[in-house]
Structure 1
Amino acid sequence: MRTSRKWALPMLVSLGFLMVAVFMYLVLSKRATPVVGLILVPVAFGLIAGAGTDIGDMIVGGVESLAPTAALLFFAIIFFGIMIDVGLFDPLVRLILRLVRDDPARLVVGTAVLAMIVSLDGDGSTTFIITTSALLPLYLKLKVSPVVLTVVTGLSNATMNIIPWGGPTVRAASALGLSPSEVFVPMIPSLVVGLLIVLAFAFHLGVMERRRIGRLVWSAERIPARVGSGGSGSSGSAGTGDDSTAGAETGGFIDGLDPNRASLRPRLLPFNAMLTVVLLVVLVLDVLPIPVLFMIAAGIALAVNFPRVTDQSAAIVRHSSSIVSVVAMVFAAAVLTGVFQGTGMVEAMALWLTGVIPDALGPFLAVITGVLSIPMTFFMTNDAFYFGVLPVLAETAAQYGVEPVEMARASITGQPVHMQSPLVPAILLLVTLAGVHLADHHRKVLWRAVAVSLAMLVTGVLVGQIPFG
């Protein structure tokens, strides 16, 4: 760029915020798909910022940085798709069905609990694949909105994301030279409060869906029965309702998990369960890179469950639509990431934000950092925030007696919002698998995610782990 540094900084700050605003407007208003928005908007703003032909190198750099993520999602979809095909999750679906008893409220709360448990592996993609695969058929059968599924699953996983092996806690600790345990352990009360609020949101959404579906049933069944003559019509209507319930209880609801499908491998259930457990254990132990683990696991699953080459090819093709959609969005997100970093917009935005904080607010920098983490981790990657912004804020806060570990704890409270960002490939996977538009997901999830983040921040202050003044 040929502009002077004096006014290049405010220009980059303005372009950065405007680029994000334009992208969000196009996606939320459904004027562009996330893939189109993630590609064209950054390219346009990168050229305006003076990137010129260097924009190609910026985008390639972004693609290279996200290539491992694309590989992870590619083979994770194949692996868990195979596990679904061969029947590993069928018993879990039947168990949840018995507990739900055709009650949307129970279903939604059960979704939150399942997502929280699976999130213990620290990987959002795994959580979303398992939860969606197991429960989406139930949502469709009971006519519960799939948006509720993405909202509750996304919130549950995002709140659990502060566990030490989940990513942000390790980044915050590494950036400030701390131990992940001294950052996370004191924040357990905040985590518990966040999870309780997520369960409350899940119950409320479930009750609202129960009422909505009840009105639909009344309109579809009760009114036509009353129009007919005599009690026979009413009896027939009641019979229809009973048949529907009975069908659900017997397991005939599993549209996507046909109990008689040819891909079932009941004799290999112990092997497939053990393979999945070993995969998750090794994943937590961090022995090998996660993409490599899923490559190996997918190869083993294909070879053992489908020895014939034609069956292996068919197994991959069955999940090709999900693979193409998700991987395309990952590489499209790489365009935004590459332009953000290559043009210096991220650095400029970080410097601007730290520069506008008055000296009088210095003692409150921990809480300010927690509040800033909500929008900043939504609009930029965790790496950019924790390695670029947090050290600057922590250095400034140290002048006012705020310890680095306290800054680190405050910085992770924005994760419930961060995980809803279109820059996070896992959330793109979730909405794709559930068949939900990202805009519909954001309308219901963002304000709830903000509420969870603020509650975690306030709890940290109340228990004395995050200083306030």
Structure 2
Amino acid sequence: MLTILGFATIVVFLVLTMTNRVSVLIGLIAVPVVAALIGGFGPQLGELSTEGILQVTPVAVMITFAILYFSLMMDEGLFDPAIRRILRWVKGDPARITVGTAVLTMLVALDGDGATTFLITVSAMLPLYQRLGMRPLVLAGVVGLAAGVMNILPWGGPTARAMAVLDVGIDEIFIPVIPSLIAGIVWILAVAWYLGLRERRRIGVASLSAEELEHVVAGVRGSGGGAGAGSGTGSGGGSAAAADLGHDGGPAGRRATPRWRMVANLVLTLVLLAALVAHVLPLHVLFILSFVIALIYNRPRWADQQRLLEDHGKAVLLVISMIFAAGIFTGVLGGTGMITAMADSLVSVIPTGLANLLPLLTALTSMPMSLMFTPDAYYFGVLPVLAETYAASGGDPSAIGRAAIMGQMTTGFPLSPLTAATFILIGLTSVQLGEHQKFLFGWAFGTTIVMTAVAILTGAIPL
């Protein structure tokens, strides 16, 4: 009963949201609530929902202050020099822009945090996409692909979970898949170039004057971390914003940030990123402290602080509401036992004769499984059983772990409705979840196929 109910809940949610029948916010809350009532969990519904909300609260707090922090940094022009260099290289060519977007995303993703990666990269690149008339859907897709493959790094969540569950180290899980990671990076750069060529054929190559360059850079300051995260719908939400970049009195007319504040902001941001990588404090605490420090010397007056909150509050509200709704979704499915039942049923349908092909099957299904299982549910629920099954047939259980990270919450996490980072990405770019998933699914699954093929050739995944 729980298995059927669980799969039905996932399928109904995906169909409703991918066909835009209901908003994601309603789907995340209403669908699991109805499923819980059908399953007889009405009396526990409040408790299950609360547990789910509490589970995502640290993430919600982190994202709130991360958006505010990077919005402030964008308004202060911290990333203006880097954006100028990128713009000089791309020269208004959509093909170069998409490749530059992928490279920038991979560099930022080295800190292992998807939310931070999306905040920085989208905030930096969206004004340029708007200025040239490129589709925000392409921006979300390229950023998602690049961030997904980099999530395989050992300090990323999926690989760390796989190593913990299987009680193995980096040598058994990550080192053997480095060739696959490199192949995935090359593939994504090629995909980014192809998507850019399609945009070039659609809109042509623009010639950016020095004045237009400053308008685009100033647009980053004006839009901040909440760029594109307003109430606009679809991929056309950015065209009006792009037009505003050239208006008198817009972002380009703002006063230049004093040099001492630019230096202070750069130092503070570098310290913050280093602390994030080193896990000196919980992420939400780091962003709270950093935002308060930055606010003290950038916006010392209450009126200026209030204006900052008013300018970027819409972006915060949009993303945070999605995160808490996702908390109810995962809280109900996990607390009722639906996720566990689905995991057990998936394992039970594997014929004994196919045990030798289990690593390959795990790799090929890993990316789609990101749409159905949270990383905790998959790596702590499904993976141990798969590894035990393969070990019983004489195989190395580490091979199952290497196969799992080919897609489960790596290439698949930027389009999964079960992760908060996905809603940051679509919120900042103002694209619909269903539209984003349909655009990205094939390319993300292709990344998994490419990496799996290389893993087979190198022996990381045995046949």
- C-alpha deviation, 1:249, in angstroms: 5.1
Q: For each residue in 1:134-183, what CA deviation from the matched residue of structure 2 results, as whole angstroms up to 9, or x when unmatched?
A: 11111011111010000000010011001011111101101111123531
Matching residue of 2:411: 416
Matching residue of 2:232: none
Q: What is the alpha-carbon distance in structure 1 between the residues aligned to residue 446 and residue 27 of structure 2?
A: 28
Q: Is 2:310 the counterpart of 1:317?
A: yes
Matching residue of 1:255: 219
Matching residue of 1:159: 149
Q: What is the alpha-carbon distance in structure 1 between the residues aligned to residue 4 and residue 387 of structure 2?
A: 25
- C-alpha deviation, 1:312, in angstroms: 2.0
Q: Is 2:445 the counterpart of 1:445?
A: no
| Contact residue 413 and residue 422 of structure 2 kept, 8 A | no
Matching residue of 1:34: 24
Q: Is 2:377 the counterpart of 1:384?
A: yes
- C-alpha deviation, 1:255, in angstroms: 3.2
For the residue of structure 1 that corresponds to 2:22, the secondary structure is coil
Q: What is the alpha-carbon distance in structure 2 between the residues aligned to residue 321 and residue 181 of structure 1?
A: 45
For the residue of structure 2 that corresponds to 1:409, the secondary structure is helix
Gaps of 5+ in 2: 222-250
Matching residue of 2:430: 435
For the residue of structure 2 that corresponds to 1:433, the secondary structure is helix
Q: What is the alpha-carbon distance in structure 2 between the residues aligned to residue 148 and residue 94 of structure 1?
A: 21
Matching residue of 1:145: 135
Out of 175, 178, 184, the residue aligned to residue 174 of structure 2 is: 184
Matching residue of 2:274: 281
| Contact residue 136 and residue 146 of structure 1 kept, 8 A | yes
Q: What is the alpha-carbon distance in structure 2 between the residues aligned to residue 192 and residue 248 of structure 1?
A: 39
Amino acid corresponding to residue 149 of structure 2 in structure 1: T
Out of 51, 54, 57, the residue aligned to residue 41 of structure 2 is: 51
| Contact residue 366 and residue 402 of structure 1 kept, 8 A | no
Q: Is 2:162 the counterpart of 1:172?
A: yes
For the residue of structure 2 that corresponds to 1:88, the secondary structure is coil
1:99-110 aligned at under 5 Å gives the runs 99-110=89-100
| Contact residue 15 and residue 49 of structure 1 kept, 8 A | yes
- C-alpha deviation, 1:248, in angstroms: 6.2
Amino acid corresponding to residue 85 of structure 1 in structure 2: D
| Contact residue 146 and residue 436 of structure 1 kept, 8 A | yes
Q: What is the alpha-carbon distance in structure 1 between the residues aligned to residue 256 and residue 337 of structure 2?
A: 50
| Contact residue 123 and residue 166 of structure 1 kept, 8 A | yes
Matching residue of 1:305: 298
Matching residue of 2:461: 466
- C-alpha deviation, 1:438, in angstroms: 1.4
Q: For each residue in 1:93-133, what CA deviation from the matched residue of structure 2 results, as whole angstroms up to 9, or x when unmatched?
A: 21111111111111111101100110001111111111111
Amino acid corresponding to residue 453 of structure 2 in structure 1: V
Give the aligned CA root-mean-square deviation in angstroms: 1.6
- C-alpha deviation, 1:265, in angstroms: 4.3
| Contact residue 62 and residue 337 of structure 1 kept, 8 A | yes
For the residue of structure 2 that corresponds to 1:255, the secondary structure is helix
Q: Is 2:286 the counterpart of 1:293?
A: yes
Q: What is the alpha-carbon distance in structure 2 between the residues aligned to residue 255 and residue 362 of structure 1?
A: 55
Q: Is 2:74 the counterpart of 1:81?
A: no
- C-alpha deviation, 1:440, in angstroms: 1.7
For the residue of structure 2 that corresponds to 1:370, the secondary structure is helix
Amino acid corresponding to residue 113 of structure 1 in structure 2: V
Amino acid corresponding to residue 251 of structure 1 in structure 2: E
After superposing the two structures, state which structure 1 stretch, 290-299 or 371-380, moved more.
371-380
For the residue of structure 1 that corresponds to 2:393, the secondary structure is coil
- C-alpha deviation, 1:313, in angstroms: 2.4
Q: What is the alpha-carbon distance in structure 2 between the residues aligned to residue 298 and residue 70 of structure 1?
A: 15
Matching residue of 1:234: none
| Contact residue 87 and residue 213 of structure 2 kept, 8 A | no
- C-alpha deviation, 1:247, in angstroms: 5.8
| Contact residue 85 and residue 263 of structure 1 kept, 8 A | no
| Contact residue 279 and residue 293 of structure 1 kept, 8 A | yes
Q: Which 4+ stretches in 1 moved above 6 angstroms?
A: none
Out of 327, 337, 343, the residue aligned to residue 336 of structure 2 is: 343
- C-alpha deviation, 1:397, in angstroms: 0.9
Q: What is the alpha-carbon distance in structure 2 between the residues aligned to residue 70 and residue 20 of structure 1?
A: 23
Q: Is 2:319 the counterpart of 1:326?
A: yes
Out of 404, 420, 439, the residue aligned to residue 425 of structure 1 is: 420
Identity across matched positions, percent:
45
- C-alpha deviation, 1:298, in angstroms: 1.1
| Contact residue 118 and residue 424 of structure 2 kept, 8 A | yes
| Contact residue 124 and residue 220 of structure 2 kept, 8 A | no
- C-alpha deviation, 1:357, in angstroms: 0.3
Q: What is the alpha-carbon distance in structure 1 between the residues aligned to residue 256 and residue 332 of structure 2?
A: 44
- The number of aligned residues is 431
Structure showing greater Rg:
1
| Contact residue 63 and residue 331 of structure 1 kept, 8 A | yes
After superposing the two structures, state which structure 1 stretch, 359-368 or 262-271, moved more.
262-271
| Contact residue 315 and residue 428 of structure 2 kept, 8 A | yes
Per the alignment, do residues 185 and 137 of structure 1 end up closer, same or farther by CA in structure 2, a change over 3 Å counting?
A: same
Q: Is 2:194 the counterpart of 1:204?
A: yes
